[in-house]
Amino acid sequence: MQPATSPTAGVPAGRNHGTPLTRRRLVSGLAAVALAVPFALGAAGCGDDSAGDDGGPVKLSVFWWGGEARAKLTEDALALYTKKHPDVTFEKTWQANQGYFDKLATLTAGGNPPDLFQIDDNYLAEYAGRSTTLDLGSYSDSGKLDVSKFPKSLLEYGVVDGKLAGVAAGENTQGLVYNKTLLTKNGLPEPTTGMSWEEHIAWAEQVAKKTKVPGTQDPSADYKALWVWLRQQGKDLYNGKELGFTAEDVKKWFELWKGARDRGATPTPDVIHEGNSSDITKQLVVTGKSATSWVWVNQMPDLKKNTKDELGVVAYPGDPSAQWARASMYWSVFKGSKHKDVAVDVINFLNNDPEAVALLGTDRGLPSNMDLRAKVSETATDPAMKQSIQVESDLAQKFGASPQVPIKGHSKVKSELVKAAENAQYGRATPAQAAEQFVTACKSAIA
């Protein structure tokens, strides 16, 4: 895909944008506006001179995070909506992931949220709990929001306290990515879906001895891996408003990976720390410092851009039914929007219009509409993208029920896991001490 042109905020779709506005200029400009006057994006959500849902022209404010490529795809899809609904134009604003939720919090606290906004499972429950998000249940019940082609567990993963707070913009699941070239060159077997955690570690030890490259990144700091492992033990990350696990559970998790480190199956703590970064370019499977990395399946195309080696992907170890159809991100509607019906119709369009879904591709994950997902798969030309679609489609047959949407404080829980796990990895604490530290911090985070 060629680099996208820079998006323009506040320009109705279909109109000549003139000089491109770079993301840096856009974000810095937004910061200045936020200090000086009510945010333009919020003005559309909370009352401007455009008509409401009773008819007439509508300008809908939309806010999302991502890079320039996503911005171009999203703008193209919104322009297509305007082409089919000439009375609806868009106030479009985007920025990088970093700082996005700080900006969204500022807008909502100031009473100026966008009509339609992108959100993920780190914050969905928090915003729903503050009655910021519109309950989309009545729209799905009436068919105005068509979710009939969604996997059941994907739809359920947007429900908070019995209300549909967000609709998946795409589907994702956990994936263990491995260096296929390295294994083939050394005559080693590839990992398989369904191998146990102990089998995975033994395999990684074998890889390390033969290739001198650690067989697996240590995922003890990775909440995705811990979450799947907990579900395989009959536990979960959360249970209602409480934690779904104990310090004893976490101790066993940390002990599992201490054993792997002691056997030489993983890198050293300093290298593990590098791999704990969420930056795709720093994943150890592409930097050559480990034969595997623990990622989201839809990251395969981006991983492949950072290595010349062939990559493979399978489910995380253990019973694959512990994985689920996770919303990579959601579209939510501001509860106080003047344009609720229009905003919901845009969500419906982005998920169910064949042209729009083809435009958006897999940028936000696999299309939620299973019929249209199959069509996107048929037309995909990127081998890594086709591979990720195939793997997730295969895993979909094995998915279990979705867990509850993470509760308020989830982001803090994730960062505390990294701290505790790294304390154990560096030997600053025993697995038991690190587990107690983690659980204590988690209880404070979700209080």
Predicted pLDDT of residue 55: 66
- The neighbouring-strand residues paired with 118 are 331
Cα(327)–Cα(156) distance, integer angstroms: 10
Cα(253)–Cα(172) distance, integer angstroms: 24
* pLDDT 10s digits, 217-250: 999 999 999 999 999 999 999 999 999 999 999 9
Decide if pLDDT at 431 tops 80.
yes
Residue 209 one-letter amino acid: K
* pLDDT 10s digits, 325-354: 999 999 999 999 999 999 999 999 999 999
**What's the pTM value of the predicted model, to 2 decimals?**
0.83
Contact 296, 180 (CB under 8 A): no
Percent of the chain scoring above 90 in pLDDT? 74
Cα(253)–Cα(265) distance, integer angstroms: 16
* Torsion angle in degrees (nearest 10) through CA of 245, 251, 253, 254: 140
Tokens linked to 107: 């807008």
Listed residue (126, 107, 89) closest to 34, CA to CA: 107
- SS percent in the chain: helix, strand, coil, step 5: 50, 15, 40
Cα(151)–Cα(149) distance, integer angstroms: 7
Q: Left (φ > 0), alpha (ψ -120 to 50) or beta: where does 38 sit? A: beta
178 backbone dihedrals φ, ψ, rounded to 5°: -130, 160
Edge-to-edge strands of the sheet including 116-119?
88-95, 58-65, 116-119, 326-333, 167-172
Cα(259)–Cα(201) distance, integer angstroms: 9
* pLDDT 10s digits, 56-68: 899 999 999 998 9
Contacts of 182 (CB under 8 A, 6+ apart): 188, 207, 211, 213, 291, 309
- Please provide the distance, in angstroms rounded to a whole number, between the alpha carbons at the two ends of the chain: 44
pLDDT mean across residues, the chain: 87
Under the banding of pLDDT at 50, 70 and 90, the label for residue 387 is: confident
Cα(246)–Cα(243) distance, integer angstroms: 8
What mean pLDDT is predicted for residues 105-113? 89
Cα(243)–Cα(439) distance, integer angstroms: 9
Decide if pLDDT at 98 tops 60.
yes
Predicted pLDDT of residue 300: 86
* pLDDT 10s digits, 130-146: 999 999 999 999 999 99
Predicted pLDDT of residue 214: 98
Q: How far is CA 44 from CA 227, 334, 335, in A?
A: 39, 11, 13
Residue 350 one-letter amino acid: L
Decide if pLDDT at 167 tops 70.
yes
Under the banding of pLDDT at 50, 70 and 90, the label for residue 1 is: very low
Task: Tell me if residue 89 falls in helix, strand or coil.
Answer: strand
Tokens linked to 297: 């399946």
Predicted pLDDT of residue 53: 53
Tokens linked to 303: 């991983």
Contacts of 273 (CB under 8 A, 6+ apart): 422, 425
Listed residue (284, 291, 317, 312) closest to 300, CA to CA: 312
- The DSSP secondary structure of 287-305, one letter per residue, reads HTS-SEEEEEGGGHHHHHT
* pLDDT 10s digits, 194-206: 999 999 999 999 9
Listed residue (414, 435, 233) closest to 317, CA to CA: 233
Contacts of 274 (CB under 8 A, 6+ apart): 282, 284, 287, 289
